[in-house]
Amino acid sequence: MDLAGQAIAQARDPRPPLWDPRLLWLALALIAILLIGALIIAWVDRWRKRTDSERLTANEQLANFRRLYEEGQLSQEEFERVRLLLSEQLRRELAVPAAPPRTAEEPTPEAQKPTEPGSPPG
């Protein structure tokens, strides 16, 4: 009789029970959606970083522009402009120091050539 009384009391109680299985399924669905969203964001971020690392080096770019120049698709002016821009990048990539500017007092490399004995200087 005691069980029957409890069942009747619960049937008349307007408050919902504290533990509802539908709430569990909704929480699991929300967690799954959040995890899928996080995976998509991580995948997009990895894809974006991968495409950044596949850029051409200055040397490869210069080779491509030289080929275009030889094929006649670039004028000499355009090629020289690109070559000057890429030469700075190429120096940085290869860690080559820039040549110091020469002053008027410094002799040119041709003037520094040793003369052979018996030949006139000049």
> Mean pLDDT for the chain?
78
Helix (H) or strand (E) holding 53: helix 21-53
Q: What is the pTM of this model?
A: 0.38
Identify the pLDDT of residue 39.
97
Decide if 69 contacts 38 (C-beta within 8 A): no
For the chain, the distance separating the N- and C-terminal CA atoms, rounded to the nearest angstrom, is 130
Q: Is the pLDDT of residue 53 over 90?
A: no
Q: Comparing 41 with 17, which gets the higher pLDDT?
A: 41
Identify the pLDDT of residue 21.
81
Q: State pLDDT tens for residues 76-107.
A: 999 999 888 888 888 887 777 766 666 666 66
Identify the pLDDT of residue 33.
97
Q: State pLDDT tens for residues 22-32.
A: 888 999 999 99
Decide if 75 contacts 67 (C-beta within 8 A): no
